[in-house]
Structure 1
Amino acid sequence: MAEWCADHLRNCEGWKSAGLELSTTSDENAKLLDASIRQLVSWSDCVSLGGFHDTLVRLTASDPGAIMARAFFVGLAGLGTESAARDPVFAKTMTQLESDAEKYGNQREKRHVKAAVLWGRGKHHEAADEWDSIMDEYPTDLIAVKFSHDAHFFNGNCKGKKNAIEKVINKWSHDLPCYSYLHGMYAFGLEECGLYGDAEKEADQALNLNRFDCWASHAKAHVLEMNGRHKEGKEFMYRTEDDWRQGWMIATHNYWHTALFHIEYAEYEDALGIFDREIAKRFNRTNSLLDMVDASSLLWRLELEGVDVGKERWANIEHLGKFIDNHAIVFNDVHLGVALYRQDELETEKNLRDSLEKYSSLLSEDNARISKEIGMPLYDGMLDYARCEYDVAAETMFPIRDKVIQIGGSHAQRDVFVQTLIQSCIMSKDPKNWSLTPQLLIERETMKHDSLLGQRLADKFRAKHPL
């Protein structure tokens, strides 16, 4: 699938000829850096390179002091939402990299170090701006392109995702490695901006150039979901499953999208089957926070639909306690809290909330500020719903509903909070809360067209609160 990643890897002279000079003198390091970013952008393991993880190990060993490779590692760790400035080892790594970059790095590398460290220290919006600025001067800098795209996603900046790719895509020649993947990235930015027709064209172009572009498959799934084309979405995901399932990290998320198409049709056993066969097993293999989000979100959505998913399925999202002090993005924390509560890990959930509240006072970090203003009320509202305290949940979540985009994720992912708020209002005993439901249903339909799930919510409201 990704064996092309090993083709014609750039040595030091190759990077220089591309206008992206490196300070390392190790050709092996230069080639392995090229191999690493290609696998990251394609979400794929190149077998001939030993896979992404092995490539990273060899990259470090080839020149432990290489500035650009180390900036890549810091950005990768931060944007992977697994590390943050409060991790003392990661903090020391960033400080040492800054010092070494000043001594040995070239100007482009220093800017990459600045961006990666800004992100790692919680200055997420400044980091995104810095990566965008690098792209202005170096439009074919794929590391800046990839990190900018991810940063805007976690910042909830729809226009940023679109505009960053839009300004460089026509400056790439078609024969550059990973060129086709720009169309998939562009498609996702367009989709999040509501430009569904243009987004689908870009996703199709990416897939015509490379059918294994699992990010483009993901972007098309978003378009089909938001447009209410659920039957077409299911057919597309199953027809192309063998193409996108090999994308190492995004495959879990693409299975999650497939499950959402089933939920729209109330095909709950099919969605549970996807959880059992793919999502739970993949999380327990990767133990990734991003996979945890998909697992928690899917089970919660099924429960909102009245499905008894069983305690054992929640228990299959294992070893969550180690994440309670992470707080890289509050989007993760909310899903983590829900999962811990459903697992009856009440003491661990309480520790998570206490930790999040303490972290929220660190207003030097963007995510801490967002956690305080939006994340904490959202967290509490979700847990209020879990405790069947529907009035409290509605009153907590309704005032922040238009701000939730700031916690990051996609419109499709954040719909779990919209559904929970609507269900809270429907189940509320207070007329001032349940009377908000028609407004919320209209708002959701405006965002997600022709939703069968939305129709079920409307039917439930009319049955519980007849005129």
Structure 2
Amino acid sequence: MSLRDCQAWKDAGLPLSTTSNEACKLFDATLTQYVKWKNDKSLGGIEGCLAKLRAADPSFAMGLAISNGLVLMGTGTSVKLDKDLDLAVKTMVGLSQTQTLTPREQLHVSAVEMFAKGYVKGIYAFGLMETNFYDQAEKLAKEALSAEPTDAWSVHTMAHIHEMRGEYEAALTIYDNHCKAYCCLTPSPGLFFLSPGVSVGQRWQAVLPVTKKHTRDHTLLFNDAHFLMASLGARDLQTTQELLTTLQEASKSPEENCQHQLAKDVGLPLCQALVEAENGNPDRALELLLPIRYQIVQIGGSNAQRDVFNQLLIHAAITCTSSVHKNVAR
């Protein structure tokens, strides 16, 4: 494996603020193993590379960022529980302030710092929200936000709490104040769909340029459904058709891709139901959703984000012409 030294990183347009070629190569080795989600024994594994990386250049900002970041994302500890980790994060921030870092490196350091500040209460609040303990979740999320107003987990949690309580204006306000600035790909379309009786204005048009670039990705069916909501909401028929056509093509040759395997029986009917509902065909939307209502959980996402499909089914049942199917709304 060819690992990049200082010049190679610079040639790639990603200069690193260290003069140590060894540190650059070890950073590359660590990053490569993380992306592949595999410990490469020939490289010494992730932990081995991180130890050598810290020794090669103890003040290397990106080395400290990836080292601290991986510990924090491992969810096994936190800066509140681990004093050594707390000191490591503070040292990273302090060293970064004494160096001339690139804007990209500064953002990485800031991201790890913010993650460390709000992680414990923010992620705990999200878990409580997912298990329907809304009051406790709200309390913890607000505590986390008082310490770090931009903590993503807490912002995410509060938006879901408002939505699940039917407080749609409050949820949309969170989108305007927080999510819009960070171009949230999937929560935003679902939130707009879940705001009955509330005008979302030009928000669809604001979200579409972000989601449109991923029309052909088909990485997650959960994403596909939300990207489709954006194109439907913005009345972009061409993007809507492109997403459906390419998803259908992916479902025909799924190979070992579990998402593409799931597309035929769950993903495509779900997406088509969204289109039928948008086109004013509740009977057809219900026919597509009813057989898969208990399989939708397989596409992933949170309870609040999948709630849009439950509400879509209920609304279709209420407005359909079949007296038998109207009972589904109960």
Q: Check whether TM > 0.5.
A: yes
Partner residue of 2:142?
Answer: 238
- 1:345 maps to 2:236: yes
- 1:334 maps to 2:225: yes
Please report how far the alpha carbon of residue 297 of structure 1 lies from its aligned counterpart in structure 2 after TM superposition. Answer: 1.1
Alignment of 1:283-298 (within 5 A): 283=183, 291-298=184-191
Letter in 2 for 1:294: P
Match of 1:316 among 189, 197, 206: 206
Partner residue of 1:276?
Answer: 176
CA distance in 2, matches of 1:144, 1:241: 22
Compared CA separation, residues 58 and 434, structure 1 to 2 (3 A): farther
CA distance in 2, matches of 1:386, 1:424: 11
Please report how far the alpha carbon of residue 431 of structure 1 lies from its aligned counterpart in structure 2 after TM superposition. Answer: 1.8
Q: What secondary structure is seen at the aligned counterpart in 2 of 1:292? A: coil
Partner residue of 1:79?
Answer: none
Match of 2:192 among 299, 304, 316: 299
Match of 2:122 among 217, 221, 234: 217
Larger RCO: 1 or 2 (CA < 8 Å, sep 6+): 1
Partner residue of 1:227?
Answer: 132
CA distance in 2, matches of 1:380, 1:215: 39
Partner residue of 2:246?
Answer: 355
CA distance in 2, matches of 1:234, 1:217: 10
Q: What secondary structure is seen at the aligned counterpart in 1 of 2:207? A: coil
Partner residue of 2:25?
Answer: 63
Match of 2:285 among 393, 404, 420: 393
Q: What secondary structure is seen at the aligned counterpart in 2 of 1:388? A: coil
CA distance in 1, matches of 2:243, 2:121: 35
CA distance in 2, matches of 1:396, 1:145: 42
Q: Percent identity?
A: 22
Letter in 2 for 1:237: A
Please report how far the alpha carbon of residue 211 of structure 1 lies from its aligned counterpart in structure 2 after TM superposition. Answer: 8.5
Please report how far the alpha carbon of residue 397 of structure 1 lies from its aligned counterpart in structure 2 after TM superposition. Answer: 1.0
Partner residue of 2:324?
Answer: 432
- 1:258 maps to 2:151: no
- In the superposition, the TM-score normalised over structure 1's length comes to 0.49
Please report how far the alpha carbon of residue 73 of structure 1 lies from its aligned counterpart in structure 2 after TM superposition. Answer: 3.4
Please report how far the alpha carbon of residue 371 of structure 1 lies from its aligned counterpart in structure 2 after TM superposition. Answer: 1.7
Please report how far the alpha carbon of residue 387 of structure 1 lies from its aligned counterpart in structure 2 after TM superposition. Answer: 1.8
Compared CA separation, residues 381 and 244, structure 1 to 2 (3 A): farther
Q: Is the 8 A contact 1:214 1:244 kept in 2?
A: no
Alignment of 1:55-134 (within 5 A): 62-63=24-25, 66-75=28-37, 104-106=42-44, 108=45
For structure 1, the 5+ residue unaligned runs are 1-23, 29-53, 76-96, 110-141, 150-164, 179-209, 284-290, 439-467
Partner residue of 2:310?
Answer: 418
Q: Is the 8 A contact 1:380 1:396 kept in 2?
A: yes
Please report how far the alpha carbon of residue 322 of structure 1 lies from its aligned counterpart in structure 2 after TM superposition. Answer: 1.5
Please report how far the alpha carbon of residue 377 of structure 1 lies from its aligned counterpart in structure 2 after TM superposition. Answer: 1.1
CA distance in 2, matches of 1:399, 1:215: 39
Letter in 2 for 1:399: P
Please report how far the alpha carbon of residue 342 of structure 1 lies from its aligned counterpart in structure 2 after TM superposition. Answer: 0.8
Q: What secondary structure is seen at the aligned counterpart in 2 of 1:240? A: helix
Please report how far the alpha carbon of residue 223 of structure 1 lies from its aligned counterpart in structure 2 after TM superposition. Answer: 1.8
Compared CA separation, residues 246 and 280, structure 1 to 2 (3 A): closer
Partner residue of 2:269?
Answer: 377
Question: C-alpha deviations, 1:141-187, integer Å up to 9, x for none?
Answer: x96995xx8xxxxxxxxxxxxxxx8xx88xxx956648xxxxxxxxx
| Number of equivalenced pairs | 269
CA distance in 2, matches of 1:335, 1:278: 19
- In the superposition, the TM-score normalised over structure 2's length comes to 0.67
Letter in 2 for 1:348: T
CA distance in 1, matches of 2:15, 2:270: 37
Compared CA separation, residues 257 and 69, structure 1 to 2 (3 A): closer
Q: Superposition RMSD on alpha carbons, in Å? A: 4.1
For structure 2, the 5+ residue unaligned runs are 7-12, 47-68, 87-114
CA distance in 1, matches of 2:297, 2:71: 23
Please report how far the alpha carbon of residue 404 of structure 1 lies from its aligned counterpart in structure 2 after TM superposition. Answer: 1.3
Partner residue of 2:167?
Answer: 267
Partner residue of 2:298?
Answer: 406
Q: What secondary structure is seen at the aligned counterpart in 2 of 1:326? A: coil
Please report how far the alpha carbon of residue 392 of structure 1 lies from its aligned counterpart in structure 2 after TM superposition. Answer: 1.0
CA distance in 2, matches of 1:56, 1:354: 40
Question: C-alpha deviations, 1:172-206, integer Å up to 9, x for none?
Answer: x956648xxxxxxxxxxxxxxxxxxxxxxxxxxxx
Q: What secondary structure is seen at the aligned counterpart in 1 of 2:200? A: coil
Compared CA separation, residues 264 and 407, structure 1 to 2 (3 A): closer
Q: What secondary structure is seen at the aligned counterpart in 2 of 1:379? A: helix
